[in-house]
A and B are shown apart, each in its own frame.
Chain A
Amino acid sequence: MSTETFCTYETAWCPGCGNFMILECLKTALEQMGKEPSEVLVAAGIGQAAKTPQYINANAFCGLHGRALPAAVAAKMANEKLTVIVNTGDGDSYGEGGNHFIHNIRRNIDIAHFVHDNQIYGLTKGQASPTSVIGLVTGVQTDGNFNEPLNPALVAIACGAGFVARGFTGHKEQLISLMKQAIAYQGYALVDILQPCVSFNKTNTFAWYNARVYELDESYDRQNKAAAMQKALEFGDKIPIGVLYHEEKSTYHQKSEVLKQGVPLLDRKTDPALMKRLIASYI
């Protein structure tokens, strides 16, 4: 791995895992954007993908399985100067944390959410995730998964997300660009990253993705919501990658009476005079 500012640490990932490429792209994106490690917070839940914050030279919050988003958005509320990025798994983001996924789209806090979507539970050694394809046989789904897979991009657009992208670890330059756009975007930005898990997902392999993905080009209108939903639905013989939907929206910080004043929350103090008035109001 090349980047210096954000360093290289020894990882506990399997050789050949798509996570390596995501980590490299993340470091490159941050470096190209000129970010300082101390202004970046990488947050995660628990899982293989969720080890990412441990492998990058930045502030790191490795919380609970499924609960990366609530902690990350609150950290952003506390200190708007932090660049907050969530790097975590599909099970973490869409399964255990599904409720937070939906509701943080509604909050629209300025963070980037990079989901390492290997369509499997890696850390727990290969059970179906919410995005697993129908027919996938695992130690739990012994007759093959027969539950409808979740389409994260479609859900995100439907819930009102203003930046929704799909990436693939085999398209490095595009992935770096998607990450940079997501970090720069003002509001909640989702990049669902197709990430081969060489150990446990023998269906959705690198070759499987590689044969299906195609990059969206200039002619695609990323501001058309209905068309974006159509594109998001495309997940079969052909899988579009790129920014599926883009819309400027006001963020939580722009709408919150407290936060819109421009002073980071953690720097504010309780005014003793206000305290006096509050106490007096009960007399």
Chain B
Amino acid sequence: MYNLLIGGAAGQGIETTAAILEKFLKRSGYHVLTIRDFMSRVRGGHNFSLIRFGTEPIRSHSDRLDGIIALDDETVHEHRDQLNETGFILGDSKLSATDDRLIKVDMAGMAKELGNPRVSGIIAVGILLKMFGETLDGAEDVLGTFVKQQYLQINQKALEQGYAIAEKRYEHLDGKYSGWMLISGNHAVALGAVAAGLRFYSAYPMSPSTSILETLAALGDEAGVVVEQAEDEIAAINMAIGASYAGARAMTGTSGGGFSLMVEALGLSGMAEIPLVVIDVQRPGPVTGLPTRTEQSDLRFVISASQGEFPRMVIALRNQEDAFYQTMRAFHLAEAYQIPVILLSDQYLGDATATVEPFDPTRIRVADPASSYDGEDEYLRYRYSEDGISPRLIPGKTKHLVAIDSDEHDERGWITESAEVRTKMVDKRMKKIEGFRRELLEPDMIGPEDFDTLLLGWGSTWGPIAEAVRLLNQKGQGRYAALVFGDVYPLPQKLLKEKAAQAKRLINVEQNATGQLAGLIREETGIVCTDSVLKYDGRQISAEEIAARIRKEGAK
């Protein structure tokens, strides 16, 4: 397994360099995981991508580096301590930093000579491919996905020149992942939505959710999806609800700040029973917080957001595969139960690219609204029923009229203040929870059955926790396992109760300061975590850090 860091200032092209390199490595068979750490600025600052690759599935990033690609001096200074003794730093001759491990190449000069200073990053990719024993097979195809046709030739040349001047240093390892996908959480969400039949996406740009909006916009024309940039998040969610009411499968996406503005309309989806999928790609709050960084601190907020009481479901995305399949499933649940379904992701997962088996959209069935009403009695949008679900017709697609109201309403959808109707309507809506409770997916159980310490997590810490369990069981005392929740609200309790009863220690691992999952578990089940590993500095916890903090005991 190898671990590389590409660092530099914003605007220096780290993004493209990393994207091209990771694609080459994945295509040659490696399992690749790339995480992205940026500052909230367009120029300058210090940004980096960490590319980890090997022949076994990679779940977590690591802070121990085999190589650094430094586009500026700061990268060398910031990260040299993480570099292995035998590691290397690849930098431009311009750099003033000194280090025994530093290989300086006049990449800027070479790029200038080629006629475009911007190709120096590609020269670096060429050098790296040679160092790692790769070939340049299929280079044109890889480059073609990232650079415009007219720049293809010069990039190809840059790649070849870099390759030519370098020497092989590492052995190529044979992996079996060349036919797999390399995709970020946000892109996987966009694909999942389209696979589920998304027709309408409205959003207001907000990091780190914006790449969902952009990905959908890029494919919207071809896929038949209206992608609308709303004037604010209140408009975004009300538009999605209006479109869904009228029969177009709809979704909106944002981060915590925008979600705060959407809160009232979330209740409209609940009250009027209009299917809606909302994704909150979390970043550290409160308010503007750390705009481009990661956190899991909106759980308590989204499970209780909006006044009053109504059924909702919250699904935390754990990895890029979840991002695709759970997005599809969210559309199914929203339609089947006529509820809002909230997806929780975060910057780490949204921006990180991972290697996944090609998605199979046929794996998830997505319900459709009723196409006709053939009951003997009058059509009633909110007819009382056994399971609380009433026939949802699409206005204009039937001779029946479809009336919805944010006021409490009767079966027709007309405003009412009757005490009896009010009680029956609340009961009707709440009854739907019983239905989707039966569809809840239990958390992922990771590790051996004979554990004594159980870690509890949710969402994007799935990868780091999974690898931490492996590290902890490799050496050290005790046996470790973990439960990582995807469906998180309502909370699935079966496996939790069973495994918690067996555990001597229960440790919640979360990217927040208050242990929100632990709090929810305590509230719902009375199960109390004995220790916690919490991190809220805006940087994703690694497997090594989890393991180290647990070994250090106390684990506070």
Contact = CB atoms under 8 A, between A and B. Distances in A.
Interface in B219-256: 219-226, 228, 230-232, 234-236, 238-248, 250
B396 A99 contact: no
A265 B226 contact: yes
A71 B242 contact: yes
Contacts of A60: 401-405, 413
Contact of A59 (B187, B359, B395, B405): B395
Interface residues of A, number: 54
A279 B268 contact: no
Interface in B342-388: 358-359, 361
A204 to B, nearest CB: 27
Contact of A272 (B179, B198, B361, B415): B361
Interface string B195-216: 1011110100000000000000
Contact of B246 (A78, A269, A280): A78
A64 interface: yes
B199 A266 contact: yes
Contact of A258 (B202, B225, B244, B245): B225
B405 A54 contact: yes
A203 to B, nearest CB: 29
A259 B226 contact: yes
Interface residues of B, number: 67
A262 B238 CA distance: 24
Given A57-B401, A79-B248, A275-B361, A74 B223 contact: no
B519 to A, nearest CB: 30
A37 to B, nearest CB: 6
A257 B218 CA distance: 12
B407 interface: yes
Contact of B404 (A58, A61, A99): A61
Interface stretch (A38-46, A134-142, A144-152, A228-236): A38-46
B70 interface: no
Nearest to B220: A258
Interface string A256-283: 1111000101101111101100111111
B223 A270 contact: yes
A152 B393 CA distance: 36
B412 to A, nearest CB: 10
B183 interface: yes
Contact of A74 (B27, B191, B240, B361): B240
B181 interface: yes
B284 to A, nearest CB: 27
B242 A70 contact: yes
Given A266-B394, A275-B194, A78 B400 contact: no
Contacts of B226: 77, 256, 258-259, 265
A54 B415 contact: yes
Contact of B398 (A38, A58, A62, A266): A38
B89 interface: no
Given A75-B246, A272-B361, A258 B221 contact: yes
A81 B396 contact: yes
Contacts of A37: 401
Interface string B30-46: 00000000000000000
Contact of B195 (A46, A268, A270): A270
A281 B145 contact: yes
Given A51-B415, A61-B242, A78-B242, A70 B396 contact: no
B471 to A, nearest CB: 30
Contacts of B202: 74
B414 interface: yes
Contacts of B94: none
A23 interface: no
Interface in A71-92: 71-79, 81-82
A59 B403 contact: yes
A74 B396 contact: no
- Select the residue from A37, A72, A78 with max chain B CB neighbours within 10 A: A78
Nearest to A76: B246
B197 A74 contact: no
Contact of B199 (A41, A64, A75, A78): A78
A2 B405 CA distance: 26
B406 interface: yes
A70 B224 contact: no
A41 B246 contact: yes
A82 B395 CA distance: 8
A127 B358 CA distance: 59
Nearest to B229: A103
Given A41-B396, A279-B191, A282-B183, A77 B200 contact: yes
Contacts of B199: 78, 265-266, 268
B22 to A, nearest CB: 12
B195 A275 contact: yes
A38 B395 contact: yes
Contacts of B264: 64
B413 A99 contact: no
A59 B413 CA distance: 10
A100 interface: yes
A39 B246 CA distance: 11
Contacts of A39: 396
A67 B221 CA distance: 27
B405 A71 contact: no
A38 B248 contact: no
Given A38-B401, A265-B199, A270 B224 contact: yes
A95 interface: no
Given A81-B396, A103-B231, A258-B220, A279 B243 contact: no
A235 to B, nearest CB: 27
B361 A79 contact: no
A70 B235 contact: yes
A63 interface: yes
Given A51-B415, A275-B361, A282-B183, A77 B231 contact: no
A99 B232 contact: yes
A79 B398 contact: no
B282 to A, nearest CB: 24
Nearest to A101: B231
A278 B400 CA distance: 38
Contacts of A122: none
A183 to B, nearest CB: 15
A216 to B, nearest CB: 32
B518 interface: no
A278 B219 contact: yes
Given A62-B403, A265-B199, 18 more contacts: A57-B401, A63-B238, A63-B241, A64-B264, A64-B406, A71-B241, A78-B199, A78-B250, A82-B396, A103-B235, A265-B200, A265-B224, A266-B247, A268-B199, A270-B223, A275-B195, A283-B27, A283-B180
25 contacts: A38-B400, A59-B403, A60-B402, A60-B403, A62-B404, A62-B407, A63-B242, A64-B406, A70-B230, A71-B239, A74-B238, A77-B200, A78-B245, A79-B247, A81-B396, A99-B235, A265-B248, A266-B248, A269-B197, A270-B197, A270-B223, A270-B224, A278-B191, A282-B183, A283-B181
Nearest 9 Cβ contacts at the A-B interface: A71-B242, A74-B242, A78-B248, A78-B246, A266-B247, A75-B246, A59-B395, A103-B231, A70-B238
